[in-house]
Amino acid sequence: GENVEQHPSTLSVQEGDSAVIKCTYSDSASNYFPWYKQELGKGPQLIIDIRSNVGEKKDQRIAVTLNKTAKHFSLHITETQPEDSAVYFCAASKGTGTASKLTFGTGTRLQVTL
Amino acid sequence: ETGVTQSPTHLIKTRGQQVTLRCSSQSGHNTVSWYQQALGQGPQFIFQYYREEENGRGNFPPRFSGLQFPNYSSELNVNALELDDSALYLCASSVGGGETDTQYFGPGTRLTVL
């Protein structure tokens, strides 16, 4: 089955700096890659996603890049703010129907310091 | 907020007991997926229900079972509880059967097994 690895496990940046989180996946059939932010005591919140027919997607301060050949994708957060502090999870799936289960990475705890 | 609700928010049970967790999907969604998230880990896929039928299952024993109702709400039942079942149980709803299968998570139910 699919295996998703995520690095780093913890990341500390100063407010205003950029943060980058990287994930690799094993199943070349995976074609959907969402990123979730999870705050303490809450469920994961979708922040951005990308499909395999796109190499990059941006939404304000957040961007995701996908390299299908290398089977890795990355989350980039620019101009970090204290409210960006949370645990971030990458995930992969094969898309729709019975294959749409998400396989998650192990998470990255991002701390934005003042 | 995603519009996905779960109940109860917290639950304490003892080994060997049975538990039922509930999830109401977001309006317009016909698919519910259940995940188990152990402390410090990423969510693990349990199973998915699409139009009241089980539509895929992860590596969980048969004592984990579920239902989906005509209004697309869902239940997760766990029999013969074990200490390792202590976790945050998440449900996610989506519009199944099409190209877009983005999953939106509820806040979760924290289960503690003593």
Q: How far apart are CA B63 and CA A105, in angstroms?
A: 26
pLDDT tens series, chain B, 114 aa: 679 999 999 999 999 999 999 999 988 888 999 999 999 999 999 999 988 899 889 999 999 999 999 999 999 999 999 999 999 999 999 887 655 578 999 999 999 999
Classify the C-alpha dihedral A94-B39-A13-B104 as positive or negative.
positive
Contact A88, A80 (CB under 8 A): no
Please name the amino acid found at residue A10.
T
Written as six digits, the tokens of B42 are 């990423």
Contact B28, B96 (CB under 8 A): no
Could you tell me if residue B85 is left (phi over 0), alpha (psi between -120 and 50 degrees) or otherwise beta?
A: alpha
Among chain A residues, the shortest Cα distance to B97 is held by A97
Which one of B33, B58, B102 has the shortest CB-CB distance to A34?
B102
B97:A89 CB<8 A: no
> With contacts defined as CB-CB under 8 Å, which chain A residues touch B43?
44, 89, 102, 104
> With contacts defined as CB-CB under 8 Å, which chain B residues touch A27?
none
> With contacts defined as CB-CB under 8 Å, which chain B residues touch A91?
42
